[in-house]
Amino acid sequence: MAEEGLFVLPGDLIDPSFIPSHPKKPLRLGPGLRHIPPNSILPTVSGQVYTDNRKNSIWVEYNGGRYVPSTNDQVIGQIQRSAGEHYYVNIAPYASNAVLPHLAFEGVTKKTRPQLNPGALVYARVALAHKHMDVELECVSPSTGKADGLGPLVDGMVFNVSLGLARRLSMSKKENSKVIVLDLLGDAGLVFEVVVGRNGRVWIGGGSVADTVLVGRALTQTDEEDHGPEAQKNVVRRLLSERK
């Protein structure tokens, strides 16, 4: 269970009692924290420190800045070009292109690989994120060989949201993320699919054009005006009344 509290600034000392300790698992540092040998952990950004005792992990939640890829993030990328054995994929403005091998899709061979044109969208996992190397992506799990929902995205619309909201949307527990707008819209009978990329892109599709736009507007408004659950209810109510 994640625990929140403690607001930190870059370089602040984190109270050792706050750092989770687990008898067996190694401590995992998430984004915004840096281990400086031998034994200090310093935040590199300002935000709220979260800990998870079960996973023995600690990280800083912050909203802002540009997207910095890290391994196992699921991102929405845009194909720029194809060269040799790879696609070059844009995952963030101002960042160099990531590399997506032609064969990193579910069940493909050299002959059956998907033909993606420049401008196509893919949902991919970051396989390798190293400061000094090109980011590598994959649309298939290397252990199981299954796509698990990754792959090219067809039709739909992309809305840009802040990195904080993208992270909150991909949290499993609603009480932590405090984003209920999608649930409210689903309860209201709208049909749509959502794909959340950690790079701040949200793909919405599967329903009618008007509904897709409505969901996108609800999300972007929630993000820009930083709405809490109550305000989100109001946004949804207002948008649904416009729909009828």
Partner 1 sequence: MEKGTVELQVWHQKFLRYLACEGSPPAPGRISSRDPLHDKSSSHSPSSGASQSWFAIGIALIFSSFLKSPDKLNSETQIPLPAVNMPREAEISTNEKQFLKTALTENVRIDGRLFEQYRPLSLGFGEEFGVAEVELGKTRILAKVSAEVTVPYADRPFDGIFQIVTELSPMVSPAFEVNRPTETEVLLSRLLEKTVRRSGALDTESLCLMAGKKCWAVRVDVHVLSHDGNLVDAACVAVVAALRHFRKPDTSVEGEMVTVYTAAEREPTPLSWLHSPYCVTWSFYGEEGEMALLDASWKEEQVQVASFTVSLNRHGEVCQIAKLGGVAVDAVLLLKCTAGATVEVKRISEMVDQKLEEDAKRRDKGGLMAELRAENERES
Binding site for partner 1 (CB under 8 A): 78, 90, 93-94, 117, 119-121, 153-158, 203, 209-210, 212-214, 216-217, 239, 242
Closest CB to partner 1 among residues 217, 233: 217
Q: CB of 216: closest distance to partner 1 in angstroms?
A: 7
Closest CB to partner 1 among residues 63, 78: 78
Closest CB to partner 1 among residues 61, 211: 211
Closest CB to partner 1 among residues 107, 119: 119
Q: CB of 90: closest distance to partner 1 in angstroms?
A: 8
CA neighbor of 127 nearest in space, from 119, 118, 136:
136
Q: CB of 217: closest distance to partner 1 in angstroms?
A: 5
User: Roughly how many angstroms between the first and final C-alpha of the chain, as a whole number?
Assistant: 41
User: DSSP letters of 149-181?
Assistant: T-EEE-S-EEEE--HHHHHHHT-S-HHHH---H
Q: Is the distance from CB of 77 to CB of 91 less than 8 angstroms?
A: yes
Residues 6+ apart with CB under 8 A from 86: 99, 100, 101, 102
Q: CB of 119: closest distance to partner 1 in angstroms?
A: 4
Closest CB to partner 1 among residues 9, 209: 209
List the structure tokens of 122. 């893919």
Q: CB of 231: closest distance to partner 1 in angstroms?
A: 17
